[in-house]
């Protein structure tokens, strides 16, 4: 038989060497979604600036989230010294997650069908456009998938190490974001509800997992108690509360429709694989002899497990939000759908029809090309068509240079503390030469790493965008003694006719120190 070329040849190669194709796709995924924002974006994304501004404080818990993503970003910056390196973290997290999904799928449906499920994830918004904004949602992805992998292995192989690793990775999910409760609840319910899974209670496995989880999560749990569960207040404020009876019904529907919207490209890719009616196994054409070594027929238990993992966390999130009358934030769906394509493949059976596989390959190639092109078009072309302020256009480095220099010239001291509106202050902390500490929202209670006595001793800079004008009086009461105010109008870092950024700032000099006017160009003393 003659060797096929083009997409047909690619399909044949993927059947023979699914792991090689997986590696190539994941390497391209990481390279593309790391290099594009690093090269195109003149300023860090909102979440990335926050990562670097607060991660360096190395807290066990922060005012709105657990610390792991911020630690990872701060650690990478300390290793490399380049703020753009944080763009690597999101794509790498998603690639590890896809690798774990493939490994789980290889155990259940076989290497080639598992590859198809992973390729379908490339169409999911959470694995392309949003993946460049590494923060708590993105950090969950690898640990969520690894928990699912080792929990399944614990149930099927009954090895203590698998159970222990499942507990460790579940704890790391919680260190990433407390929304991991949805995964933990799903796994617990599965152990109780599934007739085969219940047998695990007679083994040491679940108890080993619980102990491993408790040991790893304990420091963060202790910090949560010490902070009076401060991050949960932030979650409470983020989720919109129902004010009318009909919103208790509408909010779950609104949340569900939003998640379906995110899923449409992935579901479209999977639709290319399967006919509307499920074909009988005896009528499916094979292409590699009578038996494809990369295909396994999944058992009923495995199909149930994947169904629980694919839909359970979404159901838990939706139910809790509905009972509380809350509208879940759309990005809370970030890790919920990692297992959905694999579950569909397991329940529908491995697709063998050449024409459908070739269509799927064409669809995947289109997604791999179109999504990055759309990202480039949005970043580079949108400012030419409309003026929509974006974090990536913000003049963060210029702002940091100006206010840091002015603080030095007016006080004779390097800038050690900054506060004000969140994004402006974070940019000064990230791009400023002295990398000052951020006092979050001008509230020392949200910034336990701050010693107010030291703030008075060294002074503080307050900087705000236009939307922060209403908070200035409160900031001045918290940090009295502002002697200099400045106004800035800085151009955005974008092509086209975009409005400049308007900012104001105030300098609170060190307590008891006279206001000093240094000559322009004075040397910048190092931060202490």
Higher pLDDT, 231 or 307: 307
**Is the separation of the CB atoms in 230 and 443 below 8 Å?**
no
Judge contact between 32 and 372, C-beta under 8 A. Answer: yes
Q: Are residues 403 and 256 in the same domain?
A: no
pLDDT tens for residues 337-364?
999 999 999 999 876 688 999 999 999 9
- pLDDT-derived band at 4, boundaries 50, 70, 90: confident
Residues 452 and 312 in one domain: no
Q: In the listed set 379, 404, 428, which residue is the last one of a domain according to the structure? A: 379
Same domain? For 162 and 32 the reply is yes
pLDDT at 293: 63
Q: CA–CA separation, 478 vs 144, rounded Å?
A: 41
What pLDDT is recorded for position 226?
93
Which neighbouring-strand residues pair with 295?
none
The pLDDT tens digits for 25-73 are: 999 999 999 999 999 999 999 999 999 999 999 999 999 899 999 999 9
In whole angstroms, give the CA distance from residue 154 to residue 480: 59
Could you tell me the residue range of the domain that residue 40 belongs to?
6-277+291-379
Q: Tell whether 357 and 241 lie within a shared domain.
A: yes
Two tokens, residue 260: 């379906």
Beta-sheet pairing, 484-490 with 417-420 = unpaired
Q: Does the structure show a pLDDT above 60 at 264? A: yes
For residue 444, being part of any structural domain is answered with: yes
Task: Answer yes or no: is 525 within a domain.
Answer: no
Tens-place pLDDT, residues 202-225? 999 999 999 999 999 999 999 999
Residue 78 has pLDDT above 90, yes or no: yes
What are the tokens at 359?
A: 């269509």
Q: Is residue 344 part of a domain?
A: yes
| Residue 214 C-alpha from the chain's centroid | 24
**pLDDT at res. 1:** 46
User: What are the structure tokens assigned to 139, written together?
Assistant: 């950090």
- On whether both 207 and 335 belong to a single domain, the answer is yes
Confirm whether 249 is domain-assigned: yes
Integer Cα distance of 364 and 275 in angstroms: 18
Cα–Cα dist 255/35, whole Å:
32
* Three-state secondary structure call for residue 523: coil
pLDDT tens figures, 495-511:
888 899 999 999 999 98
Q: What is the mean pLDDT of the chain?
A: 90
Please state, in angstroms and rounded to a whole number, the distance separating the CA atoms of residues 423 and 390: 11
Do residues 264 and 410 both lie within one domain? no
pLDDT at residue 279 is higher than 70: no
pLDDT tens by residue, 84-116: 999 999 999 999 999 999 999 999 999 999 999
Residues 358 and 406 in one domain: no
- Whether residue 182 lies inside any domain: the answer is yes
Q: Are 25 and 121 in contact (CB under 8 A)?
A: no
Structure tokens at 357: 């596989």
Q: Name 283's Cβ contacts closer than 8 Å, sequence gap at least 6.
A: none
CB 114 within 8 A of CB 342: yes
Q: What are phi and psi of 320, to 5 degrees?
A: -60, -45
Number of compact structural domains in the chain: 2
Three-state helix/strand/coil letters over 45-100: CHHHHHHHHHHCCCCCCCCCCCCHHHHHHHHHHHHHCCHHHHHHHHHHHHHHHHHH
Same domain, 130 and 227: yes
Q: Which of 126, 124, 146 is nearest to 135 (CA)?
A: 126
Q: Which of 341, 356, 379 is the last residue of a domain?
A: 379
For residues 337 and 403, membership in a common domain is answered with: no
Residue 63 lies in a domain: yes
Rounded-to-integer distance, Cα 167 and Cα 174, Å: 11
**Beta-strand pair 501-508/460-465:** antiparallel
Contact 511, 455 (CB under 8 A): no
The string of pLDDT tens digits covering residues 405-439 is 999 998 989 999 999 999 999 999 999 999 999 99
Q: Which of 379, 413, 433 is the last residue of a domain?
A: 379
CB contact set of 249 (below 8 Å; sequence gap of 6+): none
Say whether both 336 and 412 belong to one domain.
Answer: no
pTM value?
0.92
Identify whether residues 60 and 203 lie together within a single domain.
yes
Q: Are 332 and 239 in contact (CB under 8 A)?
A: no
293-325: pLDDT as tens digits: 677 778 899 999 999 999 999 999 999 989 888
Of all residues in the chain, what percent carry a pLDDT higher than 90? 73
187 has a pLDDT exceeding 90: yes
282 domain-assigned: no
On whether residue 284 sits in a domain, the answer given is no
Does one domain contain both 169 and 74? Answer: yes
């Amino acid at each position: 038989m003659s060797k096929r070329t083009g997409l047909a040849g690619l399909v044949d190669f993927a059947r023979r060497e699914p792991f090689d194709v997986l590696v190539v796709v994941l390497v391209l995924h990481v390279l593309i979604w790391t290099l594009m924002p690093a090269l195109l974006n003149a300023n860090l994304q909102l979440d990335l600036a926050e990562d670097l501004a607060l991660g360096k404080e190395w807290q066990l818990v922060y005012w709105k989230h657990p610390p792991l993503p911020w630690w990872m970003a701060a650690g990478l910056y300390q290793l490399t010294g380049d703020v753009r390196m944080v763009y690597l973290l999101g794509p790498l997290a998603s690639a590890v997650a896809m690798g774990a999904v493939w490994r789980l799928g290889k155990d259940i449906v076989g290497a080639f069908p598992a590859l198809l499920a992973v390729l379908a994830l490339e169409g999911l918004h959470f694995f392309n456009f949003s993946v460049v904004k590494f923060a708590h949602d993105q950090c969950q992805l690898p640990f969520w998938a690894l928990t699912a992998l080792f929990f399944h292995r614990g149930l099927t192989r009954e090895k203590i190490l698998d159970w222990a690793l499942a507990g460790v990775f579940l704890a790391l999910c919680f260190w990433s974001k407390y929304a991991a409760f949805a995964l933990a609840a799903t796994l617990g319910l599965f152990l109780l509800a599934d007739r085969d899974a219940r047998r695990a209670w007679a083994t040491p496995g679940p108890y080993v997992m619980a102990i491993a989880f408790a040991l790893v999560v304990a420091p963060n749990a202790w910090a949560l108690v010490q902070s009076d569960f401060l991050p949960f207040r932030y979650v409470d404020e983020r989720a919109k509360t129902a004010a009318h009876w009909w919103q208790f019904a509408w909010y779950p529907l609104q949340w569900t429709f939003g998640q379906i919207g995110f899923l449409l490209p992935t579901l479209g890719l999977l639709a290319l694989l399967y006919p509307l009616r499920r074909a009988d196994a005896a009528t499916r054409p094979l292409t590699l002899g009578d038996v494809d070594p990369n295909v396994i027929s999944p058992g009923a238990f495995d199909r149930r497990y994947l169904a629980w993992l694919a839909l359970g966390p979404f159901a838990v999130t939706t139910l809790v939000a509905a009972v509380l009358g809350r509208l879940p934030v759309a990005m809370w769906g970030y890790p919920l759908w990692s297992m959905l394509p694999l579950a569909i493949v397991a329940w529908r059976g491995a697709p063998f029809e050449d024409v459908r596989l070739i269509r799927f390959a064409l669809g995947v190639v289109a997604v791999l090309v179109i999504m990055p092109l759309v990202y480039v078009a949005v970043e580079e072309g949108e400012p030419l068509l409309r003026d929509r302020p974006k974090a990536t256009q913000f003049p963060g480095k210029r702002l940091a240079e100006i206010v840091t220099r002015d603080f030095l010239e007016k006080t004779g001291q390097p800038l050690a503390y900054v506060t004000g509106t969140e994004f402006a202050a974070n940019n000064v902390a990230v791009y400023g030469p002295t990398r000052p500490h951020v006092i979050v929202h001008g509230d020392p209670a949200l910034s336990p790493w701050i010693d107010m006595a030291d703030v008075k001793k060294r002074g503080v800079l307050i900087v705000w965008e236009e939307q922060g004008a209403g908070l200035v009086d409160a900031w001045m009461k918290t940090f009295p003694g502002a002697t200099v105010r400045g106004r800035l109008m800085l151009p955005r870092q974008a092509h086209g006719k975009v409005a400049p950024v308007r900012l104001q700032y105030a300098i609170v000099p060190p307590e008891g120190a006279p206001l000093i006017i240094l000559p322009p160009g004075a040397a910048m003393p190092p931060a202490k």
